[in-house]
């Protein structure tokens, strides 16, 4: 080896000592820290499911588009036999579909039987409106066949539907039992019976018990793993946003690994939560805007980020059209127009109202003057 070669080798050795050895030492230490963290920190099973509500931002696997108007329908609410919309007292949605062309529906509500929610083996005895006779197994032979016919008609006409479990009145399945296996069997039964692709959990009033929702979330996770069912959470909201109870419910489902496609806020019945000189349309917009910030914060707490646009795509708003009770102002078409404009501007994932029964005048409501007057506003979405 020449003198110059020995000199060059000496220079390289010195450079390694000064420049590279500290770098590799630091990398080695960082790798060791990462290993320690991986094996010592608890792992969570949170399924944030990405940013958008429907995967590709266009149409989900269930066939639901990323921005839809989907009214709620009370399938167990009696429609007078003299009405053109009555099929043995069941809402004739085929006629509604023919007249309006509505493409998406939220069908409610399935609940445990009000008198005997569980059988001797702990299985849930469920039915529409909490009536076991309005179910596959308890079939009354009069109304229930028409419920099935209505759902079949929607499917054959190309309309999409989700079925809502829970509701304001009565106990939800997760209240009457916290047996995860029984809850799982219940959901699989409903999904199979109605060829369901999207499920809505209407979680309000006393059905917001946290421990019961944790058990339900475990069951829903198992059901999603088996069926790929899409999930919507329908929850109360105030103009200030979701309260602590609703935030904990959202987290209960996320922490069990449930993929939430949409969070549908019931923008209604605010009571004293409304500002002076603020109507329910303005209050509903404020509620949704506050929930967008909250949704981003919730997702961020699990290490995921949602843009504002992504949060709006995972957002639904359901207004309570017409007259609800003397406790609240009548929700007018003018208020509806405000919410529709905001939904269109920001790209809500879903806009809805309670209910098509009122707007089609299947039932009398003093806050609804003309048939489908609220639908005329919703169609602008």
Strand partners, 266: 236, 318
Select from 294, 318, 299 the least CA-distant residue to 242.
Answer: 294
Task: State residue 229's pLDDT score.
Answer: 98
pLDDT tens string 180-208: 999 999 999 999 999 999 999 999 999 99
pLDDT value at 8 more than 50: no
- Above 50 in pLDDT, residue 294? yes
Where does residue 6 rank: exposed (0-12), middle (13-18), buried (19+ CB within 10 A)?
Answer: exposed
**Secondary element (H or E) of residue 160:** strand 160-166
Domains of the chain, residue spans: 1-43, 46-378
User: Over the stretch 103-150, which tens digit does the pLDDT of each residue have?
Assistant: 999 999 999 999 999 999 999 999 999 999 999 999 999 999 999 999
pLDDT exceeds 60 at position 75: yes
Q: Higher pLDDT residue, 357 or 53?
A: 357
| Weakest-pLDDT range from 6-15, 167-176, 207-216, 228-237 | 6-15
The whole-number pLDDT of residue 349 equals 98
pLDDT, position 320: 98
Residue 154 has pLDDT above 60, yes or no: yes
Give CA–CA dist 353/375, Å, rounded.
9
Question: Structure tokens of 61?
Answer: 């696997």
For residues 318 and 267, the answer to whether their CB atoms sit within 8 Å is: yes
Average pLDDT (141-161) is 98
Looking at every residue in the chain, the average pLDDT score rounds to 90
Mean pLDDT across the stretch 226-240?
A: 98
For residue 262, the cross-strand partners are 232
CA distance 249 to 214: 8
User: What share of the chain in percent tops pLDDT 90?
Assistant: 84
pLDDT score of 26: 52
Cα atoms in the 13 Å half-sphere on the side-chain side of 236: 19
Task: Give me the residues paired with residue 162 across strands.
Answer: 106
The pLDDT value recorded for residue 289 is 98
Residue-level pLDDT at 10: 44
Q: Compute the average pLDDT of residues 148-160.
A: 97
Work out the average pLDDT over 320-346.
Answer: 98
pLDDT at position 111, please? 98
> What value does the CA radius of gyration of the chain take, rounded to a whole number of Å?
26
pLDDT band for 337, please (50, 70, 90 cuts): very high
pTM: 0.87
**pLDDT tier, 61 (very low <50, low <70, confident <90, very high otherwise):** confident
Per-residue pLDDT band at 268 (split at 50, 70, 90): very high
Average pLDDT over residues 274-285: 97
Q: For residue 151, what pLDDT is reported? A: 98
Domain 46-378 is found in CATH 2.60.40.10: no
Average pLDDT for residues 260-288, to the nearest whole number?
A: 97
Average pLDDT over residues 43-52: 54
| Proportion of the chain above pLDDT 70, given as a percent | 86
User: At 373, is the pLDDT very low, low, confident or very high (cuts 50, 70, 90)?
Assistant: very high
Residue 19 phi, psi (nearest 5): -100, -50
pLDDT of residue 62 exceeding 70: yes
What mean pLDDT do residues 226-249 have?
98
């Amino acid at each position: 080896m020449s003198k110059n070669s020995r000199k060059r080798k000496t220079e390289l050795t010195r450079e390694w000592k000064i420049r590279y050895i500290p770098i590799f030492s630091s990398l080695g230490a960082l790798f060791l820290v990462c290993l320690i963290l991986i094996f010592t920190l608890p792992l969570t099973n949170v399924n944030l499911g990405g940013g958008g509500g429907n995967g590709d931002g266009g149409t989900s696997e269930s066939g639901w588009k990323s921005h839809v108007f989907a009214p709620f329908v009370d399938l167990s609410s009696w429609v007078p036999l003299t009405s053109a919309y009555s099929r043995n007292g069941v809402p004739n949605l085929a006629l509604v579909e023919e007249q309006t062309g509505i493409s998406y529906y939220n069908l409610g509500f399935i609940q445990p039987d009000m008198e005997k929610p569980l059988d001797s083996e702990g299985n849930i005895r469920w039915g529409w409106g909490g009536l076991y006779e309005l179910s596959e197994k308890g079939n009354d032979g009069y109304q229930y066949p028409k419920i099935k016919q209505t759902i079949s008609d929607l499917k054959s006409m190309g309309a999409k539907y989700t079925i809502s479990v829970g509701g304001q009145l009565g106990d939800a399945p997760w209240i009457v039992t916290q047996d995860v296996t029984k809850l799982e069997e219940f959901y699989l039964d409903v999904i199979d019976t109605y060829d369901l692709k999207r499920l809505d959990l209407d979680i309000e009033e006393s059905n917001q018990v946290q421990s019961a929702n944790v058990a339900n979330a475990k069951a829903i996770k198992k059901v999603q793993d088996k069926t790929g069912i899409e999930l919507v959470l329908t929850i109360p909201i105030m103009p200030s946003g979701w309260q602590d109870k609703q935030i904990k419910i959202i987290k209960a489902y996320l922490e069990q690994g449930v993929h939430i496609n949409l969070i549908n806020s019931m923008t209604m019945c605010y009571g004293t939560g409304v500002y002076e000189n603020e109507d329910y349309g303005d209050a509903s917009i404020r509620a949704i805007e506050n929930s967008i910030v909250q949704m981003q914060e919730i997702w961020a707490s699990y290490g995921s980020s949602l843009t504002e646009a992504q949060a709006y795509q995972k957002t639904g708003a359901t207004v309570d059209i017409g007259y609800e009770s003397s406790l609240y102002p009548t929700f007018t078409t003018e208020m509806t127009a405000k919410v529709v404009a905001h939904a269109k501007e920001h790209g809500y994932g879903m806009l809805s109202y309670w209910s098509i029964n009122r707007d089609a005048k299947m039932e009398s409501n003093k806050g609804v003057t003309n048939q489908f007057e609220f639908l005329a506003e919703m169609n602008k979405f």
